[in-house]
Structure 1
Amino acid sequence: QQRVFRMIPGLERAEFLRYGSVHRNSYINAPRALTAHLAAQDDPQLLFAGQITGVEGYTESAATGILAGINLARLLAGEPPLVPPATTMLGALYRYLHAADPEHFQPMNANFGLLEPLETPVRDKARKRELLVERALAEMDRFAERLGIAKNAESGVRSAE
């Protein structure tokens, strides 16, 4: 960095107190090494979550951690692990981590481009997002119902039945 900075006119004799560094994340090549529910290929009870899986963002990391905890509890109880539908943001992120091209895998944050496309294309971007969100919420409601998680009609808060 010093060599490059000194090439800039006026900085030939400048004093640099500290040089910058590039932010780097260490992550697993998830499509190659992890299952659809982010367990090690060779050990289904070794689950991964957060940045190491190739997700970016605090919410994404927290969500994968919560689901990893749920899935480990299910596995230990002899139940199959869960992955939300790919029409939901978390499900779409899990699908990306599992199905992305392992040769070109890069970390990803949640974004509308990961979601399954709508059955009928919508040109208006705001309307398209609104429809994607409505579909995701409906799918998550159905997913929660299958798990026996009831929604309180008054508060909208979910609880185990």
Structure 2
Amino acid sequence: MRAMRISALLIALLVVNGCAEPGTEEQAEEAQGIHGGWVVSEWSQPEGVLMPAERGLFLFTESGHYSMMWVPTADRPDLPEEEPSDEELAAAYMTFVANSGRYSVSGNLITYEAYMARDPAYMSGFEPMGGEGNARNLTYTLNDDGTLILEFVPDDVFQAGTRAVLRRPGE
């Protein structure tokens, strides 16, 4: 079952890479410092509540593609070794955030659109595939210590004010 999930993820990443439009050279130059892989080192909520740095991986490519996956809770249930129930699968599914697609940068604002997403309703809004658009925004700051801060903008209905501090893997 785990191999099937990994295979599905790899296929999704290949589809995104093949279907999403590449970013412009100017966008790639402007976003140069964010290119590559980042892991979550800290989360904070608008109320100032710090959350445990649960697993998370953010990727930004030079071609204007992104992938972001994270577990927003420390209470993610383990699946049983035998066949999990529908309730157990749903509980694990709901404690995982994943989407990928294309992004662009203007100043310190990242605008991203999901081609693939854990949430089918969010994914179906992808404009080039017939939806009305699902673009969302993050502000970003590259710090002297090598960390990257991403903050969901105030008008984001899902995560307004949520802030993630990311670092390069192994640092």
Task: Please indicate the TM-score interval, normalised by the length of the shorter structure.
Answer: under 0.3
Per the normalisation by structure 2, the TM-score is 0.25
**The structure with more strand, counted as a fraction of residues:** 2
**The structure with more helix, counted as a fraction of residues:** 1
Higher relative contact order (CA 8 A, sep 6+): 2
Query: Rg: which structure is higher?
Result: 1
